Amino acid sequence: MASIVLYLNNSAKDITFPLLEDRFQFLNPNTSSDSLFSSLAGTVRILLCVANSPVNSETLDKYPSLECVVGSTTGLNHIDLAECRRRGIRVTNAGDAFADDAADYAVGLLIETLRRISAADRFVRAGSWAVKGQFPLSYKVWGKRVGIAGMGSIGRRISKRLQAFGCSIAYNSRKPKANISFPFYASVQELASNVDILVVCCALTNETRHIINRDVMKALGKEGIIVNIGRGSLIDEKEMVKLLVKGEIGGAGLDVFENEPVVPRELHALDNVVLSPHRGGAVPESLLRLQEIMIANIEAFFANKPLLSEIELESLSWILS
């Protein structure tokens, strides 16, 4: 008999996981019949959380036998991790399913911003090349100093890629990482003072909210650029917009925003900003890998084996006991 997995999709995203549908029996509050649902709601032990569907106390109260939440994203700020820890519920995320794509995208946004690719493309399509002549000069990528805020699996991949562009790497993280030889800065502000480009790719927690604040951005300076592929709220967006409009930071490549899908209108007119609707992760090849990881987690759970991509709730400093 197929194992029963609670399938929760309260996001606006229309995603399916065909590989999982073959292997498990999904209990979906939106589609299962009332009788089936009420008979199983009390005993289902594992929940598949689709995209950024919220999982909070209210959710967990409905399913008192839950022991595990299987996330389908890298970031888990839509899941109340403190509550999960309190209830002894284990949580897994997408592991490294999207790490390469996120890193590729971060590098893409960085080069785009410096070399003004989208603006140059608009220039050609508007017919301006023949009329106005040469497109204005942009800025060199090779050899720039890059600061990575958050040296996790994505930060490491970004570092590897950017080193091939002659960039030097420095980083900030909660603590220095044992097997990383790049210079470590204890504060993001200090990091920003010493680099040309700041790449933000850490997890969003209570501690990291607005970690990129006005002081950090001023430290980065008029020539500096920011690339954010983490979460919008890692940056004080209102301040960033002010500084960009005034020309007090050099530019920005942004895949995420504080109040998606709202993007501050002031940014639309700026040529030194590249805007993206949170697409850093999703490519078809990676959805395959995501499903493999989720299947592995679910099967390990039912076999009482160690989970593949479990988040260590014990060690998270934002968990209040």
Partner 1 sequence: MPTKREDASTHPLASTIKLVFHCLPQTASSKKMDSNSIGVLMTCPMSPPYLEQELDRRYRLLRFWKFPQKTELLKPHSQEIRAVVGNATIGANAELIDALPKLEIVSSYSVGLDKIDLAKCKDRGIKVTYTPDLITDDAADLGIALILAVLRKIRGCDLFVRRGPVWKNGDFQLTSKFTGKSVGIIGLGRIGTAIAKRAEAFDCPISYYSRSEKADTNYKYYPSVIDLASNCQILVVTCSLTPETRHIINREVIDALGPKGVLINIGRGPHVDEAELVSALVEGRLGGAGLDVFENEPEAPEELFGLDNVVLLPHVGSGTIETRTAMADLVLGNLEAHFLNKPLLTPVV
Footprint of partner 1 on 159-178 (CB under 8 A): 160-161, 163-166
Residues near partner 1 (CB under 8 A), total: 68
Q: How far is CA 37 from CA 17, 28, 98, in A?
A: 20, 8, 32
Length of the chain: 321
274 interacts with partner 1 by CB under 8 A: yes
13 interacts with partner 1 by CB under 8 A: yes
Q: What is the DSSP letter of 181?
A: -
In 3D space, the residue among 144, 147, 139 whose CA is nearest the CA of residue 117 turns out to be 139
**What is residue 172's three-state secondary structure?**
strand
Footprint of partner 1 on 200-229 (CB under 8 A): 221-223
In 3D space, the residue among 293, 289, 57, 187 whose CA is nearest the CA of residue 301 turns out to be 293
The tokens for 9 are 């999709």
Contact with partner 1 (CB under 8 A) among 286, 291, 297, 309: 286
Footprint of partner 1 on 88-117 (CB under 8 A): 100-101, 103-105, 107-109, 111-112, 115-117
Phi, psi of 164, deg, nearest 5: -70, -15
In 3D space, the residue among 281, 277, 233, 276 whose CA is nearest the CA of residue 252 turns out to be 276
* Amino acid at residue number 73: T
**Smallest separation (angstroms) from partner 1 to the CB of 49:** 16
Q: Is 125 a catalytic residue?
A: no
285 interacts with partner 1 by CB under 8 A: yes
Cβ atoms of 225 and 249 within 8 Å: the answer is yes
- CA 224, CA 183: separation in Å to the nearest integer? 19
16 interacts with partner 1 by CB under 8 A: no
**Smallest separation (angstroms) from partner 1 to the CB of 99:** 9
**Smallest separation (angstroms) from partner 1 to the CB of 143:** 5
- CA 170, CA 168: separation in Å to the nearest integer? 7
**Smallest separation (angstroms) from partner 1 to the CB of 115:** 6
**What is residue 244's three-state secondary structure?**
helix
Q: Which stretch binds partner 1 (CB under 8 A): 70-78, 88-96, 273-281, 302-310?
A: 273-281
The tokens for 72 are 């389908």
Contact with partner 1 (CB under 8 A) among 140, 187, 305, 318: 140
SS (H, E, C) 33-62: CHHHHHHHHCCCCEEEECCCCCECHHHHHH
Contact with partner 1 (CB under 8 A) among 174, 209, 214, 278: 278
Nearer to partner 1, 36 or 124 (CB): 124
Q: Is 278 a catalytic residue?
A: yes
Footprint of partner 1 on 34-93 (CB under 8 A): none
Q: Is 231 a catalytic residue?
A: yes
Task: Write out the catalytic residue numbers.
Answer: 231, 260, 278
Contact residues: partner 1, CB under 8 A:
11-14, 100-101, 103-105, 107-109, 111-112, 115-118, 120-125, 129-130, 133-145, 160-161, 163-166, 196, 221-223, 250-251, 260-261, 263, 268, 272, 274-279, 282-287
